[in-house]
Structure 1
Amino acid sequence: MSQIRMNEHLAGAPEYRPGRTVAGTIKLASNESSDGPDPAVLEAIALAAQSANRYPDIRAAALTRRLAEKCGVEPERISVGSGSVALLQGLAQAVCEPGDEVVFASPSFEGYPGLVQARGARSVPVPVTEDQQADLDAMAAAIGPKTKLVLLATPNNPTGGAVRRADLERFLGKVPGHVVVGLDEAYREFVTDPEVPDGVEIAEGRGNVVVLRTFSKAYGLAGVRVGYSVAPPEIARTLNLTRAPFSPGAIAQAAALAALGTEDAMRERCRKTVEERERVHQALLDHGFVSTPSQANFVWLPLGENALAFAAHLEQHKVIVRPIPDAGVRVTIGAPEENDAFLEAARSYQP
Structure 2
Amino acid sequence: MGDRPEYRLAHNENPHAPAEEVAAALHATITEVNRYPEFRPERLTGLLAEWQDVPPASVAVGQGAGGVAHDLFRALLRPGDNVVSTAPGFDLYPMLCAMTDTNAVTVPMDAGGHNDLTALAESIDDRTRLVIVCNPHNPTGTLADWARLTAFFERVPVHVTILLDEAYIDFAPDFDGPSARDRLSAWPNLVILRTFSKSHALAALRVGYALASAALVERIRRHQLPFGMNQFQLDAVRAALGAEHETRERIADLVNQRDRVRTELLRLGWTVPDSRANFLWLADAERVEPAVAALTRAGVAVRPYPGRGIRLTVGRKQDNDAVLAALSEV
Structure 2 length-normalised TM: 0.96
Return the offset for 1:317. Answer: 1.6
- Correspondence for 1:4: none
Asked if residue 346 in structure 1 is aligned to residue 299 in structure 2, the reply is: no
Alpha-carbon distance between aligned partners in 1 of 2:264 and 2:210, rounded to the nearest angstrom: 36
Aligned pairs for 1:181-260 (under 5 A) are 181-195=162-176, 201-260=182-241
Q: 1:116 & 1:55 partners in 2: Cα distance?
A: 32
Shift of 1:196: 5.2
CA distance in 2, matches of 1:317, 1:72: 46
Q: Which of 68, 93, 109 matches 1:112?
A: 93
| Aligned-residue offset at 1:309 | 3.4
Distance 1:276 1:150 in 2: 33
Q: Tell me which moved more, 49-58 or 198-207.
A: 198-207
CA distance in 1, matches of 2:178, 2:279: 20
8 Å CA contact 2:84–2:132 kept in 1: the answer is: yes
Name which of 16, 30, 38 aligns with 1:35.
Answer: 16
How far is the alpha carbon of 1:79 from its aligned partner? 0.8
CA distance in structure 2 between the partners assigned to 1:88 and 1:274 by the alignment: 27
Contact 1:98 1:121 in 2 (8 A): yes
Amino acid at match of 2:272: S
Shift in alpha-carbon separation, 1:147–1:229, aligned structure 2, 3 A: same
> Structure 1 residues 207 and 24 mapped into 2: Cα distance closer, same or farther (>3 Å)?
closer
Q: Say yes or no: does 1:275 pair with 2:275.
A: no
Structure 1 residues 303, 203: closer, same or farther in 2, change over 3 A?
Answer: farther
1:249 to partner: Cα distance: 1.6
2:149 matched residue in structure 1: 168
1:142 maps to a residue whose letter is S
**In structure 1, how many angstroms separate the alpha carbons of the residues matched to 2:170 and 2:113?**
21
Q: Please report how far the alpha carbon of residue 203 of structure 1 lies from its aligned counterpart in structure 2 after TM superposition.
A: 3.1
Contact 1:108/1:157, CA 8 A, preserved across alignment: yes
Distance 1:243 1:79 in 2: 9
Kindly state the Cα deviation for residue 216 of structure 1 after the two structures are TM-superposed. Answer: 0.3
Are the counterparts in 1 of residues 59 and 212 from structure 2 also a CA contact under 8 Å? Answer: yes
Give deviations 1:60-119, integer Å, cap 9, x for gaps: 222211211111110100111110100111111111100000001111101110001110
- Deviation digits for residues 200-241 of structure 1 (CA, Å, limit 9, x no counterpart): 543333110000110000000001111111010011011111
Structure 2 residue 80 is the aligned partner of structure 1 residue 99: yes
1:285-330 alpha-carbon deviations (Å, 9 max, x no partner)? 0111100000000111112243233212210121111101221101
Alignment match, 1:62: 43
Residue in structure 2 matched with residue 157 of structure 1 by the alignment: 138
Amino acid at match of 1:137: T
Q: Please tell me the residue identity of whatever aligns with 1:245.
A: P
Structure 1 residue 302 and structure 2 residue 302: aligned? Answer: no
1:239-279 deviations in Å (ceiling 9; x for gaps):
11111221222211211121111111111110000000000
Instruction: Report which of the two has the higher share of helix.
Output: 2
- Judged with a 3 Å threshold, the aligned counterparts in structure 2 of structure 1 residues 38 and 246 are, in CA distance, closer, same or farther, namely same
Residue 58 of structure 1: how far off its partner (Å): 2.3
CA deviation after TM superposition for structure 1 residue 199, in Å: 5.6
CA contact (8 A) 1:104 1:151 kept: yes
Q: For residue 263 of structure 2, what is the amino acid of its counterpart?
A: Q
- What residue in structure 2 maps to residue 83 of structure 1? 64
Kept after mapping to 1: 8 A contact 2:283/2:310? yes
Q: Does structure 2 retain, via aligned residues, the 8 Å contact 1:183–1:199? A: no
Q: Assess if the C-alpha contact under 8 Å between 2:29 and 2:235 holds in 1.
A: yes
Counterpart position of 1:146? 127
Q: Is the 8 A contact 1:162 1:196 kept in 2?
A: no
Percent identity, aligned pairs only? Answer: 37
Q: How many residues align?
A: 329
Partner Cα separation in structure 1 for residue 58 and residue 178 of structure 2: 19
Deviation at 1:46, TM superposition (A): 1.2
